[in-house]
Amino acid sequence: MSFDIEQVLQILEQEVRNYQVPVVDLIAVQTHDPFKVLVATILSARTRDEVTAVAAARLFTKAPTSQALAALDENTLQRLIFPVGFYKSKAKYLAALPAKLDQEFGGQVPEEIEQLITLPGVGRKTANLVRAQAFGKPAICVDTHVHRIMNIWGFVQTATPLQTEMALRNKLPPQYWIRVNSLLVAFGQGTCRPLGPHCDSCVLKMKGLCPQIGVTPRKNKLSGEKRTDAKQAGIKRMVSWNVNGLRAVAKNGFLAFVADQAPDILALQEIKAMPEQLPEEVREIAGFTSYFYPAQKKGYSGVAIYSREPAVKVVHGIGDSRFDEEGRVLTLEFADFYFVNCYFPNSRHDLSRLTLKQEFNLAVHRFLEDLARNKSVVVCGDFNVAHTEKDLANPAANVKNAGFTPEERQWMDAYTQTGWIDTFRHYNQEPGNYSWWSYRSNARERNIGWRIDYFFVDPASKGRIRSSDILAAVQGSDHCPILLDFK
Ligand code: SF4
């Protein structure tokens, strides 16, 4: 099979338009400053982009130039760049950088690879990236993604990134030298992942363009392709996700996620956007009818539902303006069930909204009970409360904290005592299953999380539950999606 690299890279240009832009590219575009690109590139090694972006921003407020960087000692640098990977070594490199630039390059960041690799903490990969991004000069930055994916495609057959760089210098059309790293980093983080590439949703696989050399695709028991039997049996896949900003997650693989999971109903919380602020392909996802209930205040709260089957009736809110103006509850009525999407208020760090939240809880419970008198009810969303001690990693430390106060948990006790079924616990009693992690302290990597997102059904609908799960591997928000299969 001959491999058409130009065709493939052109397809990927389209494909990654909605992916997150790698942080170094972003800094290059935003600043056009070789010093900042160099520093961000040093910080980015072995560090997730989100962490690099925050650390770089913190560092640049104190050290926007090489001269300002020279005034900071190593300990201060460590504090500023923590928790990037290898922060102690990187602080040492950064502390030595201004003197090196002054002594050998007149205080300027050099352009040539051979010069760049003499700087502290700068290897060949970093040098190529700086040359390409900061100066727009021909350079092929080969990192793990470029090396791996080029070999998967069979475009090169190499054992090391350096061999790949040399092979690409001979084979890759020059117009792709600068772009190829950004393209394949985005694609490698989003679809062609190192562990279990998402071949089932990959555009190159669909077009029959990837030879998949040496690849073990992920096993996706939940993928749309494999759900045909379930669909034929009348089982509906429902997914709920607090996206913490729909515009942000839309740039980070949201549509690929929807294509991958192929839900029948997708409920989103905390969309933080008016429908008109969304890209058209997100406002109206092909194959779905979309329903939005944004907060009146821009950029705050709000819920949305996408449904393959149009609803018979739509109910906005629960008839209480205090909650309805914050876009917290959206209900779709179907022939034989109601689907209710809820975003419960956060009682806040100082518990200043605890009383309001308790009133919301009671009002929602009444609303659900009223619906359940007519037909089945599925209710999902971010309840902003961990019910029991096994629903969060550190219960003892959080007994007085928002989301785990006795008052919030007592309401959840009362709610479940009236028979409403926590569908995840219907199948799984194990601790360590969470749906939200703080962005701080690498909490997600360490699985220091909380289970605060739920799918409940009314007591009479227990027999309609088919499965319930937490999609903890899905990135893009501080929450992960949860799902319910319901017949
Ligand atoms: S088909 Fe699989 S291996 Fe090939 S590029 Fe796509 S995700 Fe990677």
What CA–CA distance (Å, rounded) separates 252 from 203?
16
| Statement to judge: residues 282 and 198 lie in one domain | no
417 C-beta neighbours (distance < 10 Å), count: 8
Q: Which of 303, 410, 412 is nearest to 364 (CA)?
A: 412
Percent of the chain with pLDDT over 90: 71
Q: Which atom of ligand 1 is nearest to the CA of 215?
A: 3
Name the residue with higher pLDDT: 476 or 244: 244
| CATH classification at residue 183 | 1.10.340.30
What is the per-residue pLDDT across 151-186, written as a single tens digit (0 to 9) for each?
999 999 999 889 999 999 999 999 999 889 889 988
- Global model pTM greater than 0.95: no
| Statement to judge: residues 236 and 317 lie in one domain | yes
CA of residue 190 to ligand 1 center, whole Å: 11
Q: Which atom of ligand 1 is nearest to the CA of 202?
A: 6
| Statement to judge: residues 191 and 264 lie in one domain | no
191 lines ligand 1 (CB under 6 A): yes
CA angle, residues 249, 245, 235, in degrees to nearest 5: 65
CA of residue 7 to ligand 1 center, whole Å: 15
Q: Report the pLDDT averaged over residues 110-132.
A: 93
Q: The domain containing residue 40 runs over which residues?
A: 5-205
What is the per-residue pLDDT across 422-468, written as a single tens digit (0 to 9) for each?
999 998 888 889 999 998 877 887 889 999 999 999 999 999 999 99
225 falls in which pLDDT band (50, 70, 90)? very low
382 is catalytic: yes
Q: Identify the domain boundary among 137, 170, 205.
A: 205
| Statement to judge: residues 394 and 315 lie in one domain | yes
What six digits make up the tokens of 280? 């058209």
478 falls in which pLDDT band (50, 70, 90)? very high
First to last CA, the chain: 44
Q: What is the pLDDT of residue 114?
A: 94
Q: What is the pLDDT of residue 208?
A: 87
What six digits make up the tokens of 406? 């006795």
210 occurs within a structural domain: no
Domain count, the chain: 2
| Statement to judge: residues 333 and 466 lie in one domain | yes
212 occurs within a structural domain: no
Are 455 and 240 in contact by the 8 Å Cβ rule? The answer is yes
Q: What is the pLDDT of residue 223?
A: 47
268 occurs within a structural domain: yes
Query: Is it the case that residue 310 has pLDDT exceeding 60?
Result: yes
Question: For all residues of the chain together, what is the average pLDDT?
Answer: 91
| Statement to judge: residues 191 and 323 lie in one domain | no
| Statement to judge: residues 157 and 193 lie in one domain | yes
Q: Report the pLDDT averaged over residues 87-104.
A: 96
| Statement to judge: residues 176 and 235 lie in one domain | no
Nearest-CA residue for ligand 1 atom 8 is 192
Mutate to test the pocket of ligand 1, among 12, 180, 205 (most ligand atoms within 8 A of CB): 205
Name the residue with higher pLDDT: 366 or 44: 366
| Statement to judge: residues 259 and 332 lie in one domain | yes
219 occurs within a structural domain: no
What six digits make up the tokens of 32? 């056009």
Mutate to test the pocket of ligand 1, among 152, 185, 203, 223 (most ligand atoms within 8 A of CB): 152
189 occurs within a structural domain: yes
What CA–CA distance (Å, rounded) separates 313 from 367?
16
What SS3 class is residue 332?
Answer: strand
Please tell me which residue in 25, 200, 382, 469 is annotated as part of the active site: 382
Q: Say if strands 303-307 and 313-316 run parallel, antiparallel, or are unpaired.
A: unpaired
CA of residue 202 to ligand 1 center, whole Å: 6
| Statement to judge: residues 192 and 241 lie in one domain | no
20 falls in which pLDDT band (50, 70, 90)? low
Query: Is it the case that residue 291 has pLDDT exceeding 60?
Result: yes
